[in-house]
Structure 1
């Protein structure tokens, strides 16, 4: 009888652990809502066939230190997280793209579901000649962010908005938003497909 009870409790413990692993025991953290990110497009059902990211759009958390460190080339949009690899798939260059106007001010918006002390928010954009049919690499991006918003270790609210001037670009591009956490070794990554 004791063995049966022990087996039952062990089974329940394993089932509970499996449930937490599949539902994301990390409660999510944040993603860009403007311009709309790939994970947001998956989370709101605009894009189908997204795998697990559709249930965890705020969870694209990878090593910080981009571009010197961080996710490997080809795995930047997923933050290097294998279960979110659908975000790295360029889908033949057919991700829905937000329309932006080059040289104008844009308000960038992050939705934050778990607040972290923050170093900064940085925005990178693809170089002229970027091929949207291939996975994103560092070589595809201008080497310096076009906008950096220092946060000085403060906690963000549930929504973070800041404005910046968009670079002079034309055609299809990708904006990489990086939210760098101050008190862990990680950052959050969000890829937004855009058209100027």
Structure 2
């Protein structure tokens, strides 16, 4: 093979690199964590318990600015998580519930917060620690009974972001 042929082949190969990079799958940068048990709305979507859109492929991706009080973290493509009439299954529990998070990317954590109807019912301070791949919190629901929607928030210590999960419960 001549030098000219080698140069043409090398140039052709280099010309393909940008096309190959564009063709590679894009990974979601905001893929980090969700409540697996009791099944959060994201978990119900991922498991096919409830028919959902894109969230079924990335239940860990509900990330938004700190301070929100909704199920979708202001991520428009996950807005269906806010739809209370969608048929979410409520898990039967007593007044104390263990919420088990599955973390796909771990971050320094300031706090974990749990709300019912806008009222904070529990908070756990991690003081900037990096959690393990799973995290569990035991939360007392107080005197609440019947169907309840818990908003769980994982506040990241070194960014302005948080992760949002809603969990439907039937409290006896």
TM-score interval, normalised by the smaller of the two chains: 0.7 to 0.9
Two-structure CA RMSD over aligned residues (Å): 2.2
CA contact (8 A) 1:27 1:114 kept: no
Q: Partner of 2:139 in structure 1?
A: 164
Aligned partner of residue 85 in structure 1, secondary structure: helix
Counterpart for residue 78 of structure 1: 72
Q: Could you say which structure has the higher strand fraction?
A: 2
| 1:28-177 matches, cutoff 5 A | 28-48=31-51, 50-64=52-66, 66=67, 70=68, 76-90=70-84, 92=85, 94-101=87-94, 104-126=95-117, 141-142=118-119, 145-177=120-152
Counterpart of 2:106 in 1: which secondary structure? coil
User: Residues 67-96 of structure 1: CA distance to partner in whole angstroms, max 9, x if unpaired?
Assistant: xxx36xxxx211111222221222x26211
For residues 135-176 of structure 1, what are the alpha-carbon distances to aligned partners after superposition, in whole Å with 9 as ceiling and x for unaligned? xxxxxx22xx11101111001111111212112112222000
C-alpha separation between the residues in 1 aligned to 2:86 and 2:57? 23
8 A Cα contact 2:30 2:62, kept in partner: no
Q: Cα gap change, 1:8/1:93 in structure 2, threshold over 3 Å: closer, same or farther?
A: closer
- The structure that has the greater radius of gyration is 2
Q: What stretches of structure 2 of length at least 5 have no aligned partner?
A: 1-7
Unaligned segments of structure 1, at least 5 residues: 127-140
User: Which TM-score applies when normalising by structure 1?
Assistant: 0.74
The two structures have a TM-score, normalised by structure 2, of 0.84
Q: Deviations over 1:19-52 (max 9, x none)?
A: 30xxx3326211112332000111112112x111
SS in 2 for 1:87: helix
Name the CA distance, whole Å, in 2 between partners of 1:78 and 1:27: 13
Provide the rounded CA distance (Å) in 2 between the counterparts of 1:194 and 1:164: 13
Is residue 60–residue 188 contact of structure 1 (8 Å, CA) maintained in 2? yes
